[in-house]
Amino acid sequence: MKLTVLGAAREVTGSCYLIETTSARFLVDCGMVQGGRAAKQRNYQPFGFDPANLDFVLLTHAHIDHSGMLPKLVRDGFRGPILTTDATGDLLEVMLPDSAHIQEADAERAARGHHGTSKARQTPVAPIYTMRDAEACLRQVRPMPYDKSFAPHPDVVCAFRDAGHILGSAIIELWVTEAGETVKLVFSGDLGQPGRAILRNPTLISEADILVMESTYGDRAHRDQAATIDEMVEIINHVSPRGGNIVMPAFAVGRTQEILYHLHCLSRQNRLHDLSIYVDSPMADRATRITTRHLELFDEEAHALADWHDAGRGLPALHFTASVEESKALNQVRSGAIIISASGMCDAGRIRHHLRWNLPRPECAVLITGFQAQGTLGRRLVDGAERVRIFGEDIAVRASVHTLNGFSAHADRPALLAWAAGFSKPPAQVLVTHGEAAAAQSFAQALRTDLGWSVVVPELGATLDWPPAASGKTDQ
C-alpha cells in the first residue's frame, strides 16, 4: 500500500491524500489551496494522478480547503462516489456552488481587468471550475451516518467518527486489506476544541497502524474561551458608543453559527444590549438553516439555547441579507452594526466590501475569529498592516483589529496532545500535516517527546509505503 501526501504538507490548506493498493485507488479529501495569488495558481495545475482511475473519495468535512477541488476532480474524469457524513452532504450543496460562483466571478473580473495587457496572456482567466461542474459533483455525493461501518470497496472498510470541528466533521477510520494483510489507517481530519459551544467533543480513537494528524495550532494554546468572550463584550461595548461598526470575518459554516450562539447567550445574560446583527452571507444563512436540521449533533447546552431561541425571548435584532442590493445597503450603516460576513480569511466574498468601507474609520473595529493562512488579506490585517489592497484600491487601516483566537474551531496543542494520548498504544507511523511548517514541526516533536511516537512531517508529494520494511520515502 502507498499513501501519498498531495496537500496540506507543511501548510494548512489543500488537504488531499492518495491511497493505492493492488486493487483499490482512492482519495481522502480533495481540498483547495488558499492563501493569495500563488496559492490560487496551484489550483489550476493538473492533478498528479488520473481522476478517472479513482474508485471513490472519502471526505472529512465540508470546508473548502478539504472539499473545494471535488468539482474539478469530477470535471477531469472522476465518476465514483464521494462518501461523507449526512450533515456534510447537506453543507456541500451550499458550499460547492458558492465556491464555483466565486471562481466564475473572479475569472470574469480578471478577464475584464487584464484585457489587452501582457498580463492577460500570463494569468489564467478561466474559472478553476464552474457551477455546472459543482452541480455534477453533487450528484456523486453519498451521505453516510456516523459510527456505522461500510465497505466502499471489497478490500476497504470505513467508519466516520465525530471530529467536533464543524457540523458533520469526521475522523476517518480505515481498514485496508492487501495480500491477505489488513492495515488500519486513521485520518484525524480537523479536530475540534473540547468544551466548545454547540458541537460534541472529538471522538477518541484507540488504535491505528498509520495516523495522519492535523497540527493547525500544534505550537500554541488557545486563550481561555471565557476570557475571549469577555474581550468581545468589552470591544462591542467600547465601539458602539463611539459611533462605529464591528466587522467580523467568519467562515460561513461553523464559525458564523458559533458567533451567533455566543451573541445570543450574551443577550440572554444581559451583558450585551440592543444588538443589531447583520449576517451578510447567503451561504451562512443556508448553513444556519442546515445546522438547525441536525440538532442530534448538538451538545446539551446548545439544545438549551435552541429551546430559548424558539421561545423568542430577548433575541437581538438579527438580519440575514440575501440580495446584493441588501448587502450594498449596509455600506450606508455608519454605526451600531455588527456585520458578520464571509470569507473567513477575507480573500473572497462580501467581507471585502465591508472592510473596504470600514477599515479607514478609526471608530470601527475588526474582530478576527479564525485562522488566517499565509498570503491572505486576513493574515495581513492580523500582522498589523497599515495599508492593504482591496479591489485594486489602497486602503488605510485605521480601524482597530482584534484577534479572538478563543473561538477557534481547531483543537490547540494541549487538546491535540490529549486526543493523541487516547490511543492505547503508539501508531506504527504518524504523519503530521495540516499545519504551517513551524507548527507542524513543533507538534511532531511534542508527540515524540511526550508520547514516544515515531513521527514525520512530510513534504508535498511524499509517499509512505506499507509494510514499514518498504518505507523510507517520507521526509522528516
Based on the fold, state whether residues 393 and 448 are members of the same structural domain.
no
Based on the fold, state whether residues 319 and 174 are members of the same structural domain.
no
pTM of the model: 0.85
- Classify residue 309: in a domain, yes or no: yes
Predicted confidence pLDDT, tens digits, the chain (476 residues):
999 999 999 999 999 999 999 999 999 999 999 887 788 889 999 999 999 999 999 999 999 999 999 999 999 999 999 999 999 999 999 999 989 988 898 888 778 775 545 444 455 689 999 999 999 999 999 999 999 999 999 999 999 999 999 889 999 999 999 999 999 999 999 999 998 777 889 999 999 999 999 999 999 998 888 888 999 999 999 888 888 999 999 877 777 878 888 888 888 888 988 888 998 877 777 887 787 788 777 666 565 555 545 544 555 688 888 788 888 899 888 888 999 988 888 887 889 999 999 999 999 999 998 878 788 899 999 999 999 999 889 999 999 999 987 887 899 999 999 999 999 999 999 999 999 999 999 999 999 999 999 999 999 999 999 998 654 445 55
Q: Are 184 and 467 in contact (CB under 8 A)?
A: no
- How is residue 303 written as a grid cell? 439544545
Based on the fold, state whether residues 239 and 386 are members of the same structural domain.
yes
Cα gap 454→433, rounded to integer Å? 14
Count of structural domains within the chain: 2
Q: Which 3 state secondary structure label does DSSP give 160?
A: strand
The residue out of 359, 391, 407 marking a domain boundary is 407
Based on the fold, state whether residues 149 and 201 are members of the same structural domain.
yes
Q: Are 453 and 3 in contact (CB under 8 A)?
A: no
Q: Are 146 and 162 in contact (CB under 8 A)?
A: yes
Kindly state the DSSP code that residue 448 receives in the 8-state scheme: I
Beta bridge partners, 276, equal 317
Kindly state the DSSP code that residue 60 receives in the 8-state scheme: S
Residue range(s) defining the domain that contains residue 43: 2-220+411-470
Ramachandran sector of residue 461 (left: φ over 0; alpha: ψ -120 to 50; beta: rest): left
Based on the fold, state whether residues 345 and 234 are members of the same structural domain.
yes
Cα gap 367→376, rounded to integer Å? 16
How many CB atoms are located within 10 Å of the residue 66 CB?
Answer: 29
The residue out of 378, 407, 436 marking a domain boundary is 407
Q: Exposed (0-12), middle (13-18) or buried (19+): which is 410, by Cβ within 10 Å?
A: buried
Taking CA 124 as the corner, what is the angle to CA 94 and CA 43, rounded to the nearest 5 degrees? 50
Taking CA 269 as the corner, what is the angle to CA 263 and CA 274, rounded to the nearest 5 degrees? 55
The residue out of 387, 407, 427 marking a domain boundary is 407
Among 266, 370, 246, which residue's Cα sits nearest to residue 314?
Answer: 266
